[in-house]
Amino acid sequence: MEKAVSREELWNFTAEWKRRDCRVALVPTMGNLHEGHLALLRHARERADRTVVSIFVNATQFGPGEDFAAYPRTLEADLQVLESNGCDLAFAPTEACVYPNGLAGAVRVMASPSLSSILEGRNRPGHFDGVVTVVSRLFNLVGPDLAVFGEKDFQQLLVIRHMTADLGYPLAIESVPTVREESGLARSSRNRYLDEDQRAAAGGISAALQQAVRMLAQGADPGQVERAGTQQLAQRGLEVDYFAVRRAADLAVPEPGDTPLRVLAAARCGRTRLIDNMAAD
């Protein structure tokens, strides 16, 4: 496995790959890699000749009071994991590489307001602007033929798909289903913040989502499903930001007969904020 820190190092590798007509896949991450990230890498390796995994904790997608400073940074361990799992190139840029004019002077990209102002966007103003700003920069730097994202961040996936199509990037956006722990808890770098009791409580998020999917299949009204899911999480001691049934294509409030649907949840377990979602037909 190769490693690049600067733009020039990255381009030395990608230019050679392009000369060989290699298909290149990008897996953007913020590091602290776990099995969910490795599922993305495996998908990328199946779909491309060369794989690039980026590791960069992006300041522009964290809001005031969020965990940017505390976010786990485990670069050396991540590099070992990537090498042992067949990654071709680890791109671990500095902030100056990604934002050469500094954060204050950086050109920003705005996410689609219709997608970025609801659910996660309502609870984390500016978050998705930060996401598309850094993802567009990674697309520009790497020049991939495809990029792979996890469905755990389903709203983010839709935001990135919209940005890619709207700005005309000549690449495919592919997704991988959420990877879960035995309890059903969606794998996340933030799970490491949870103690044993909190981890048990957080497993209730997936249980509530599964119940919601069953209720929808039985013909329950989305509003009823949302109220039941919110109550179920609250009974587990979780502070619920939202529990929502939305149209999967655009996260709009569903009209009767709309399919497929997506059930999305965000809740705080102690100081840790967790998100999850499940598909519903």
Q: Indicate the pTM of the whole model.
A: 0.96
Could you tell me what percent of the chain has a pLDDT over 90? 97
For position 65, what pLDDT does the model report?
A: 86
Structure token pair of residue 69: 């400073």
Whole-angstrom Cα distance, residue 277 to residue 157? 12
3-state helix, strand, coil in the chain (%, to 5): 45, 20, 35
For position 264, what pLDDT does the model report?
A: 98
Residue ranges of alpha helices (H) inside the chain are: 7-19, 35-47, 75-84, 95-98, 113-116, 120-123, 127-142, 154-167, 196-202, 204-217, 222-235
Residues of the chain with pLDDT under 70: none
Which one, of 45, 1, 55, lies nearest residue 23 by Cα? Answer: 45
Whole-angstrom Cα distance, residue 152 to residue 262? 12
pLDDT (tens digit, 9 = 90+) per residue, 223-272?
999 999 999 999 999 999 999 999 999 999 999 999 999 999 999 999 99
Instruction: Give residue 274's region: left, alpha or beta (phi > 0; psi -120 to 50).
Output: beta
- Long-range pairs for 194-197 at CB < 8 Å and ≥24 separation? 194/269, 194/270, 194/272, 195/270
- What does pLDDT average to over the chain? 96
pLDDT (tens digit, 9 = 90+) per residue, 12-31?
999 999 999 999 999 999 99
Identify any residues that bridge with 269 across adjacent strands, giving them in sequence order: 272
All domains in the chain, ordered by first residue: 2-176 (3.40.50.620), 189-280 (3.30.1300.10)
127 classed as catalytic: no
Identify any residues that bridge with 275 across adjacent strands, giving them in sequence order: 266
Q: Indicate which residue of 37, 43, 127, 162 is catalytic.
A: 37
